[in-house]
Amino acid sequence: MKHLLSINDLGAEGIDEVCRLADHFTEVSQRPIPKVPALRGKTVAMLFYEDSTRTRLSFEVAARRLSADVMGFGVSSSSVNKGESVRDTVNTISAMGPDALVVRHRSAGVPHQVAGWTNASVINAGDGWHEHPTQALLDCYTIRDRLGSVAGRRIVIVGDIKHSRVARSCVMAFTAQGAKVTLVAPPTLLPPALDSWPVDISFSLDAVLSDCDVVYGLRVQMERQSEALLPSLREYTARWGLTAARAARMNPGALVMHPGPVNRGVEIAPEVLDRPNATLNEQVRHGVAVRMAILYLLLGADPQPRPERDQA
């Protein structure tokens, strides 16, 4: 595999392989010196055109734990501010010979375009409303770690599905792994065409809450909403928020997940976030091991013959 642009690039077997590798890198991350030489001499460039805390830091830590070099790129301090196009920026960075470009952009499809402009491997770190494959992978890994498997689990994804690249990638990954997914949202925050999605739909969190293994909350993405799709945040919380009263009706052992950043008290009540079945910090921790697995899969097999083998 050369690029990771979509969860579909992996399929069910690929997701299994990432999780197996992530088990190994979780063990590496627990060592006193959490570092292996697997990607020594490789360079990973970060191309983040949109804000990020966990995804960007997680990729940087993952690359460093594999002994790769990291090229940082902050849009706010780059020539993008002087009007340079994405294509010219990619050409410039590619001329420095990175092995991988980790790309986040506000428009869907940009990582796919970038893959056509560079010889490096491209990893989609979130493109518009479209996909965020490494988030879905770390979520699969977290569910397997806590519940033993994704297969057969009933997963409720609640919130702003329409604007969520996380929801799209998670639906693909969870269903590929054999979970039953129910999307819960106000009608205005569902995508217009859902016919091809392998999911059930509900407008009521109360109706599905007591019968699931995972409640996966999504951030209300005010910055992506061009029109008023919600009457108010208070009303959102009253109907679709995971309040303490609703959390008390979940199965004991059912997980509370969220990709972060969370609007405390809007999508999930603060006291629910502090409960042991809330996995937000574990998701972040697993994100490092899963991204190590992805970088290793894409860059680990060295296509260049080694000099000593050349001479043999």
# chain residues binding ligand NCD, by CB under 6 A: 11
Q: Least separation, in Å, of the C-beta of 278 and ligand NCD?
A: 15
260 binds ligand NCD (CB under 6 A): yes
Interface residue with ligand NCD among 6, 118, 135, 142 (CB under 6 A) is 135
How long a stretch of residues is the chain? Answer: 312
Identify the DSSP state of 79.
G
Closest CB to ligand NCD among residues 43, 135: 135
Q: How far apart are CA 170 and CA 173, in angstroms?
A: 5
Is 162 a residue that touches ligand NCD (CB under 6 A)? no
Decide whether 42 or 55 has the Cβ nearer to ligand NCD. Answer: 55
Among 26, 29, 43, 55, binds ligand NCD (CB under 6 A): 55
219 scored as a contact of ligand NCD (CB under 6 A): yes
> 130 vs 153, which CB is nearer to ligand NCD?
130
Distance CA 279, CA 272 (A): 11
**Residue 101 CB, nearest distance to ligand NCD (Å)?**
17
For the CB of residue 283, give the shortest distance to ligand NCD in the complex, in Å.
8
Residue 221 engages ligand NCD in binding (rule: CB under 6 A): yes
Distances (CA, A) of 52 to 48, 104, 105, 126, 259: 8, 9, 11, 10, 12
| CB of 56 vs ligand NCD, minimal distance in Å | 9
If one asks whether residue 102 binds ligand NCD (CB under 6 A), the answer comes out as no
If one asks whether residue 126 binds ligand NCD (CB under 6 A), the answer comes out as: yes
Residue-wise DSSP of 129-197: TTB-HHHHHHHHHHHHHHHS-STT-EEEEES--TT-HHHHHHHHHHHHTT-EEEEE--GGGS-S--TTS
Stated as kind and residue range, the H or E segment containing 64 is: helix 54-65
Any contact of residue 166 with ligand NCD (CB under 6 A)? yes
**DSSP one-letter code for 222:** G
Contact 45, 95 (CB under 8 A): no
Minimum gap (Å) between residue 254 Cβ and ligand NCD: 21
The residue (of 197 and 216) whose beta carbon lies closer to ligand NCD is 216
Choose which of 153, 162, 165, 246 interacts with ligand NCD (CB under 6 A). Answer: 165
Interface mask toward ligand NCD for 170-209; x: CB under 6 A: ----------------------------------------
Residue 238 C-beta-side C-alpha neighbours within 13 Å? 6
Alpha-carbon distances of 51 from 2, 48, 57, 164, 255, rounded to whole Å: 26, 7, 11, 15, 27
Judged by CB, which is closer to ligand NCD: 143, or 166? Answer: 166
Of 109 and 300, which CB lies nearer to ligand NCD in the complex structure?
A: 109
Q: Which is nearer to ligand NCD, 98 or 259 (CB)?
A: 259
Return phi, psi of residue 287, to 5°.
-60, -35
Which 8-state DSSP code applies to residue 301? S
Among 12, 34, 54, 243, binds ligand NCD (CB under 6 A): 54
List of residues 6+ apart from 232 with CB closer than 8 A: none
* Binding of residue 133 to ligand NCD (CB under 6 A): no
- CA 28 to CA 66: how far, in whole Å? 10
Site for ligand NCD, rule CB under 6 A: 54-55, 126, 132, 135, 165-166, 219, 221, 259-260
